[in-house]
Structure 1
Amino acid sequence: MQTYGNPNITYDWYAGNSGVTNRSGKFIAAHAAHAGLMMFWAGAFTLFELARYDAAIPMGNQGLICLPHLATLGIGGIENGVITDFYECTVIGVLHLIFSGVLGAGGLLHSLKFEGNLSEANGRPKKFDFKWDDPDKLTFILGHHLIFLGLGATQFVEFAKYHGIWDSAKGVVRTIEPNLSFAAVWNHQADFLSISSLEDVMGGHAIIALITIAGGAFHIATKQFGEYTSFKGKGLLSAESVLSYSLAGAGYMALIAAFWCSTNTTVYPTEFYGEVLKLNFEFFPYFTDTAQGLTGEAHTARAWLANAHFFLGFFFIQGHLWHALRGMGFDFKRISKALDNFDTAKITAGD
């Protein structure tokens, strides 16, 4: 964190990131609590949407977010684009609430009972203590993250393979055998928005799973060889810089999701999300519905999802630029000082 020349600087309670800057135990606590909040939202909103779901109205026209995703996964006894088994969706919602409590308790445990800095811990937890400018430890932790991401993608592929997901082209839930052709995945780099094969979609997830797991193993097994130089990233591993990279990645994926959701009907079926959207420009780009029959202020689930992802992605990118500049040492107070000097110069010239 920048101190602007003041070694005794303190941060207010709402500057959440500052509280975990050099405290690896608190960093884990924040992660667990954050995951618990996301779990709680997903569970609570699923139950809320179930309570107001109307099978007589197309799902995409009901302003739903969680239920369309569950339906796309073939959960809810989907027939003709309608949920027929409320029990399955209820179980998913309740499980999310239970897991949110577990994660929240883990966050409180790490925050209130365990060491705030894992360098002071005993046993295995000490392995996960880190400093922002320690490339060996950061690459070790990054490796674990990549492996878990790969396992998550693998789980999705296996779910589609044995349980099945919704195929909008055939109007049924069917099992998907992934297309494991690396060439097919490579060739979709430029036209992924128009992918129309679920086999290609699941094949892409399978190959990404392989790549991330292999990358995770590589990062866990390797360390910096030789001197840690600027070529290897020296000076780019401050807390500000790593945060900026994370925001850039999240923002980029949010923008990709927005455009994909707005046009693709294979991954986002019209039965659950509504018709494809139209891209408009005023002061900024935004997506509008093309569906007929919407009244008043109603919007399709696709419109809510695409616009929310776009604007979140946009602001994540701004956050990336802010923290990247701070990580590079730029002092934003120089801007206010320059403006003050400019105003002073104008007043003096006027006098």
Structure 2
Amino acid sequence: MQTYGNPNPTYGWWVGNSVVTNRAGRFIGSHVGHTGIICFFTGASCLWELARYDSSLPMGHQSSIYLSHLASLGIGFDEAGVWTGVGVATIALFHLIFSAVYGGAALLHSLLFDPDLKGGPIGRVDRFKLEWDNPDNQVFILGHHLIFLGVACIWFVEWARWHGIYDPAIGSVRQVFPGYGDFGRIWSHQTDFLAIDSLEEVMEGHAFLAFLQITGGAFHIATGATPFEKKRLGEYDKFKGAGLLSAEAVLSWSLAGLGWMGIIAAFWAAQNTTVYPIDWYGEPLQLKFGISPYWVDTGDISDCKYFLGHTTRAALVNVQYYFGFFCIQGHLWHALRAMGFDFRRIADALGGLATPASN
């Protein structure tokens, strides 16, 4: 974190990141606790939506963000292929149970386990002790994250293969498996991916992403080193991150990734009816510009009782876009601080403009 030349800065209680910046165990505890909160909110919101679901109204015209996502994954359908919500409560309860597990793990990391990850009940946890200015350490940890993300993508592809997902083209759940080898077609969609209308291509994209993530993860693990191991492959210069890394820099890059994903997902969800079917999210949206971009409903929304009278798609897209937008602003703020820019200079400059010149 930027200290403006002060080697021993102090921060207020509201600056939560300052408490965990240099304590890897506490950092993990905060992340696990955050995951528990998300898990609890997901399970509780899912039950809330299920309790107030009205089968006489389109799902996309109700407060149904969680139910809509589950329906898109082929969850909640009875044996006749009609969405009834069967099994949804079970998934919600699993989230509530796991939120307690995550909460317990967060307490253990925060109160009992070593706050600096120098040791613990599991062997060699010191391999994952964060060192913000150490590229070897950072890429070693990044590599493991990428592999886990790649495995998650494979899991989704296999879910579509064995269980099936909802296909709006036929109005029912079907098994989708295009294979793991045809990546050429996905590569050709770099400029028109928002127009993809085939579930096979969606699954091909996830398989391709899994390949990139697992390959990249293995590469980063091979080229990184822990504090107790020699670097295995490659050298680092300033272009690759040496001398540029810090907690603030890593935070800025994370915010940039979240921001761009949110903005791209907003444009995708606004128009794409293959991944976001009309049956579950409502009609496609129209992009308009005022002070800033926003999306409006195009269908009849007279029966929309929630989200201020808008469809699930309109609520999801607009909120996602603006969350992404503000994440980008946070990225710029923290990136400039990581580069050493002193924002106090702006206040000083404005103060100088406001002060009348002396004779």
Same fold (TM over 0.5): yes
Task: Report the 3-state secondary structure (helix = DSSP H, G, I; strand = E; otherwise coil) of the residue aligned with 2:309.
Answer: coil
Change (3 A) 1:299 1:78: farther
> Would you say the 8 A contact 2:301–2:309 is kept in 1?
no
Report 1:89-238 matches (<5 A).
Answer: 89-119=88-118, 121=120, 123-179=123-179, 180-223=181-224, 228-238=236-246
Matched-pair contact (CA < 8 Å) for 2:119–2:125: no
Report how far residue 236 of structure 1 moved. 2.0
> Alpha-carbon deviations, 1:251-274, whole Å to 9, x = none?
000001000000000000000000
Amino acid at match of 1:316: C
Q: Structure 1 runs of 4+ off > 4 angstroms? A: 78-82, 224-227
Relative to structure 1, the CA distance from residue 81 to residue 342 in structure 2 (aligned partners, 3 Å threshold; closer, same or farther) is: farther
Q: Tell me how far 1:339 sits from its aligned partner.
A: 1.2
**Deviation for aligned residue 1:78:** 6.0
- Conserved? CA contact 1:46–1:67, under 8 Å: yes
Among 269, 273, 279, the alignment partner of 2:277 is 269
Whether the 8 Å CA contact 2:49–2:63 is kept in 1: the answer is: no
Question: Which region of structure 1 is more displaced relative to structure 2, 155-164 or 228-237?
Answer: 228-237
> In the TM superposition, what is the alpha-carbon distance from 1:294 to its structure 2 partner?
2.6
Report the alpha carbon displacement of residue 232 of structure 1 after superposing the two structures with TM. Answer: 2.4
Identity of aligned residues (%): 56
Corresponding residue for residue 35 of structure 1? 35
Deviation at 1:226, TM superposition (A): 6.4
Normalised to the residue count of structure 1, the TM-score between the two structures is 0.95
Paired residue type of 2:262: A
Please report how far the alpha carbon of residue 104 of structure 1 lies from its aligned counterpart in structure 2 after TM superposition.
Answer: 1.0
- The counterpart of 1:329, out of the listed 330, 337, 340, is 340
CA contact (8 A) 1:55 1:82 kept: no
Q: Unmatched 5+ residue regions in structure 1?
A: none
Give aligned pairs, total: 347
Query: Are the counterparts in 2 of residues 63 and 299 from structure 1 also a CA contact under 8 Å?
Result: no
Partners of 1:81 and 1:271 within 8 A in 2: no
1:83 alignment partner, SS class = coil
Out of 263, 274, 289, the position equivalent to 1:281 is 289
Equivalent AA in structure 2 for residue 214 of structure 1: T
One-letter identity of the residue aligned with 2:291: F
Alignment of 1:248 with 2:259, yes or no, is no
Deviation track 1:95-122 (CA, whole Å, cap 9, x = no partner) reads: 0011111011111110011111113557
**How far apart are 1:7 and its partner, in Å?**
2.1
CA 1:188–1:80 in 2, change beyond 3 Å: closer, same or farther?
A: farther
Shift of 1:343: 1.1
Which whole-Å CA distance do the structure 1 matches of 2:118 and 2:134 have between them?
13
User: SS at 2:351's partner residue?
Assistant: helix
Cα distance 1:81–1:340, how it changes in 2: closer, same or farther (>3 A)? Answer: farther
The 8 Å contact of residues 50 and 67 in structure 1, kept in 2 or not, is answered as: yes
Q: Which amino acid aligns with 1:320?
A: H
Q: Give the Cα separation in 1 of the matches to 2:322 and 2:28.
A: 28
- Aligned partner of residue 5 in structure 1, secondary structure: coil
Higher helix content, 1 or 2: 1
The answer for the alignment partner of 2:321 in structure 1 is 310
**Which secondary structure does the structure 2 equivalent of 1:13 belong to?**
coil
Say if 1:63 and 1:298, in contact at 8 Å, map to a contact too.
Answer: no
Q: Which letter does structure 1 place at the counterpart of 2:269?
A: C
Unaligned runs of 5+ in 2: 225-230
Question: Could you tell me how far 1:190 is from its partner in structure 2?
Answer: 1.0
